Chains A and B, each alone.
Chain A
């Protein structure tokens, strides 16, 4: 058992969790909306990328763009269908509606792409980095770097630009924002499309690590939920920290205790943390 390899594994896993959680963090934290179809959107993105590459012959980078466009359009449709619930901040109904949409996407995905595991192959995922005893791929490096770049970019956008202020204003009080001349519906649409585009990018980056299945969405939504709640709902820095922390925890738990119980252990950690520190990791 190699300690530094577990740290590498933790970073690899954790940056993946954080990368996938980015869209939901913005959605939940900044616009105070929920989307329990997040994991199924991740699955769909991975399959759209896979389909574009294997069936349409697109190169990896083009396939990422295609996945982002497809998911953005789907996101816009979902948001338009849910506009009234969103403006009324009816979170309970939104939770149930998105959960239902998730199952529709999962069923639709299985019909279109079949039930067999597929491999989303990226050139980088096949190239191992030779660093002595440590084992990781260039894809892992790409995910880690992109995660930090994306989080930094989103943090700057939300906190340092006028559009960021507009989004935070709509999150705090959508009705009041209207009196400031802000079209709240349009802002919600933009944030939801961003959530879907972000999950598409994350899927195209992270999914090449393991075989993809149309049934994998639920596990992703669960892990994303842990990251977002751990991070302190809505905190961008908190979600990054929580993602990396969760990855580290799962790497070490899997290596030293039992890989079969990592999901349960992650929830155990979440419960414990919420008892000790109900606001999450963020120091707000």
Chain B
């Protein structure tokens, strides 16, 4: 079976400095893949390169396929139109537009074959909080509400694959797992998700498969059950959790 999303030998450099070095990974249908690593390991660089997007000027080589079709040559907006939806880290909604206007920017594709279609009602069911905020400007939303809006608009675009870059950044700890579990519920309905996450503990609770990225390379990867006890993960990211379990 072809992977929903696959990248191979992806290399990214900024002004000659290599930030990502020959990374290959794939996301299967109905799978939630976690990508963890220290700050500066290249996590955002990787997912941005997959989406063909950047706020800087990276030089990218390697290939990306979406449901088997090579999309490496497509611009960021075209990749989004083809169903590769990235919710970037940091600013990911329009502050000067209302919640309804932000959601209204998205146009669902005419041909929904192979797409995971979500209606506006689905989005409000998933994030009831947004219903109360429909006429508020993006800039007045809380961190959690912004993430909900950012994910919501991506869902409206009928994704083939959803990529979330640190959706938990800036969220209160109790909100992090709540958000991730809501996203997991979408995966259980078939939507493939690639999740970049700082909070490894929370990520381990929802993902099927985990990759560990260090200095621009994937240094470990495997099913969550295996990775939970991987020495590098335990030492660097879990510490107390491993002690608790022991």
Contacts and interface: CB of A to CB of B under 8 A. Distances in A.
Contacts, number: 64
A177 B105 CA distance: 9
A178 interface: yes
Contacts of A166: 105
A180 B105 contact: yes
Given A162-B105, A168-B96, A181-B107, A176 B77 contact: no
Contact of A178 (B75, B87, B93, B94): B75
B245 to A, nearest CB: 39
A178 B53 contact: yes
Dominant SS among interface residues on chain A: helix
A169 interface: yes
Contact of B105 (A182, A183, A184): A182
Interface residues of B, number: 29
A180 B91 contact: no
Interface string A196-226: 0000000000000000000000000000000
Contacts of A177: 77, 105
A175 B157 CA distance: 17
Nearest to B54: A175
B92 A176 contact: yes
Given A180-B153, A181-B107, A181-B157, A172 B96 contact: yes
Interface of A: 162, 165-166, 168-169, 172-173, 175-184
18 contacts: A162-B105, A165-B101, A165-B105, A168-B101, A172-B95, A175-B53, A176-B94, A177-B77, A179-B51, A179-B53, A179-B76, A179-B88, A180-B77, A180-B157, A181-B77, A181-B106, A181-B107, A182-B105
Closest 4 CB pairs of A and B: A181-B80, A178-B76, A178-B77, A165-B101
Interface of B: 51, 53-55, 75-78, 80-81, 85-88, 91-97, 101-102, 104-107, 153, 157
